[in-house]
Amino acid sequence: MTDIRTSLPNEHSSDETWFALLGRRDTPVDGVEDYCTFLGRALARRGVSLKVERVEWADRGWVPALFRLWHHSAEWRGKWVLLQFTALNWSRHGFPFGALVTLAILRRRGARCAVVFHESFGRSGPRWIDRFRGAFQNWIGLALYLRANRSIFAAPLSSVPWLPKDASNAAFISIGANIPAPEANHSAAAERNSSGKTVAIFCLSDPPHLQKQLDDISRAVRAATKTDANLRVVFLGRGTAEAKDEIRSAFAQIPVRLSNLGLQDAEEISRVLAESDVMLCVRGPLYPSRGSALAGIACGLPIVGYAGAAEGTPLMEAGIELVPYLDADAMGRALARVLADDELRAALGLRSREAHSKLFSWNVIASRFLLSLNQNLYQEQ
């Protein structure tokens, strides 16, 4: 993989204002807004001010929200507007036609529009309405791509099913962790935690997927206790507080120390992860925009997760151990191996820290945005 550090712009390379345009606010945690916050801080070190704006259609209704956007964007001519796209940010039921109308208003106002695709393909399902919704989302994605000045994807372009093969106006830019990276090197687990090793679980899905995830986690941890009888398992992040009873039930017969911290602020998440020994990721195949995995990489953790989506992506440069999808027994063996082998665990942690520095830090991401958008300006001249 090409090392992009040799071609990054220097800090304070420009002096301009960009806008990040978001749709509905997500609760209790808005990952897209956090993304814009961290990106904005990194861009500011390069002389670019990123101002966050919203189309508040969920509170105001679509007509008042778009009318407000029309007036508010009068001064945005010639400026970059980064439209942040996920289907549910622009529609209650996953039919995000409003994003296309929003883009049309921005183009009419003369703004330079870059669509940032946090989701690269429509979500389908077993029902006909799910399949129709997924196809509609793919159509919206293609329509946004064709009308934008630039499109930025959080996944490799080859994985986007609806993207034209000659998509010269698109770029893949990895996302970063929505937590601050620890300043110190926390890899020496024995020095910081003499009472045993810690397995971190960051975020859980809602039902009906919750029970399967807890089954996989508990089976993997049970396997690991056969080689390490002094384990601690810590749950934190979205969905963990709500699942406290299910978590307690899943681990009732497993000899581990259990902690459930629930939602925490970014600094506390960073501290807890940095003081852990390994992260277990079971929310489907590991993929490049999985926020929990990126947080683990930022904190220098080895990660054990499911294969199927990480292969061929920058994630493979981090300290990741992949096992076949839904094979909880294989995950248990991998977790036990990483916990038992101090040299392996240290090597995987080092790979994660190096991958974060080279590929996933917000400084690198901000510089890639500057390169990509400046390249678009050069091509149009």
Number of domains in the chain: 2
365 and 325 in one domain?
no
* CATH number reported for the structural domain that contains residue 90 in this entry: 3.40.50.2000
pTM of the model: 0.86
Structure tokens at 35: 């993304």
Q: What is the pLDDT of residues 8-56, one digit of tens each?
A: 444 444 579 999 999 999 888 888 999 999 999 999 999 999 999 999 9
117 and 85 in one domain?
yes
280 and 162 in one domain?
no
- Per the CB < 8 A criterion, the answer to whether 204 and 238 are in contact is yes
Instruction: Provide the percentage of residues in the chain whose pLDDT is more than 90.
Output: 63
348 and 373 in one domain?
no
For 309, the domain range is 189-360
Position 281 pLDDT exceeds 70: yes
Position 295 pLDDT exceeds 90: yes
33 and 103 in one domain?
yes
Position 186 pLDDT exceeds 50: no
295 and 241 in one domain?
yes
Q: Which of 93-97, 187-191, 207-211, 300-304 reaches the highest mean pLDDT?
A: 300-304
DSSP 162-199: TS-TT-TTEEE-----SSPPPSS----HHHH-TT-EEE
Q: How confident is the model at residue 379 (pLDDT cuts 50, 70, 90)?
A: low
User: Edge-to-edge strands of the sheet including 48-54?
Assistant: 48-54, 16-22, 80-85, 112-117, 150-153, 170-172
Q: How far is CA 367 from CA 9, 48, 198, 316, 338, in A?
A: 6, 11, 35, 22, 34
